[in-house]
Each structure stands twice: as C-alpha cells, then as structure tokens.
Structure 1
Amino acid sequence: MKIEILGTGCAKCDKTKRFVEEAVAKAGVDAEIVKVENMDDIIAYGVLITPAVVVDGDVKIVGRVPKVDEVIEWITQ
C-alpha cells in the first residue's frame, strides 16, 4: 500500500503525516508513506487545497487533517 501526504510543508501537512504514521502503526498495515511537496504533482491529483491524503492513487481527503480513526478505516478496508 502506498499513502501519499500532499502538502507543501505547512503545520497541518506535518500533522497529517504524523497521524497517518500513527494510524499505520495502530492498524499494523505494511505501507509506504510518501510526502509529496511538489505543486505540479499535487495538482496532478486535482488537489488545490492541502493537506490531502492519497491511498493507492485514490484521494481520500482534501483541505483538512484527518482523524487517526478515519485513516485506519481507509487502510483496513
């Protein structure tokens, strides 16, 4: 599984990355977590507001920090 955190390095983006890492650890899922900061790459997903989370190419959330429980739900389905 590949999880991408889309964001330019703002505090919300960093918090999102921490929450995703926590969710992956809690769920015991094997996942590659990648921080995407290049605006062209972010826009390629159709995302104009960060932070955003992409799981295996599917945009799950845009414009807010997800709750750890939300992330666990996405990665365990």
Structure 2
Amino acid sequence: MLNIKILGTGCANCKNTQKLVEDVLAAKGLQAQVDKVEDIPSIMQYGIMRTPGVVIDGKVVHSGGIPSRSQVEGWLVG
C-alpha cells in the first residue's frame, strides 16, 4: 500500500491538495495511507520550503501550490 504524506500547516491549499489526492485515489480504486504532516520541523526534514508538499513512499513529488489532477494521477499510476 502506498504511503502518502501531505505536508503543510493547514492552509486552504494544503487541505485542497489532500482532498484532491483522496479523490483521485477513490476514483482509481486505489488504497493508500494518507497522513497530514503539519509541524514545521517534520516538514523541514523533507527539504520542503513551500507548502503544500506531497511525499509518496518517502519521495518528495511536489511542493508549492496545488498540483493538477493529471499530476496526481501520474504519481499514483506511475
């Protein structure tokens, strides 16, 4: 099962990114552990300077702004 972390302090963009990831997972029938990481020291460990960030199985795939739906689909299918 995929492990996905949404990095961000709880701003609207972070919440929208989490919802987008969850919507794509549901649409594709995929299961994943989706965690929200809100504390700054933990976010900094990933080298993220701009949120929201997305980490899949320990690898940073996105930071800064809401990703497009097609980007998210590419991460989850690829």
Question: Smaller-chain TM-score range?
Answer: over 0.9
Equivalent residues, number:
77
- Deviation of residue 28 (structure 1)? 1.2
Instruction: Let me know the Cα RMSD of the aligned residues.
Output: 0.8
Give the letter for the 2:17 counterpart: T
TM-score, normalised with respect to structure 2: 0.94
1:26-65 correspondence to structure 2 within 5 Å: 26-65=27-66
- Whole-angstrom distance in 2 between the partners of 1:26 and 1:67: 15
Structure 2 equivalent of residue 21 of structure 1:
22
Structure 2 equivalent of residue 72 of structure 1:
73
Q: Using the aligned pairs only, state the percent identity.
A: 42
Answer whether contact 1:6 1:50 (CA < 8 A) is retained.
yes
In structure 2, runs of 5+ residues without a counterpart are: none
TM-score, normalised with respect to structure 1: 0.95
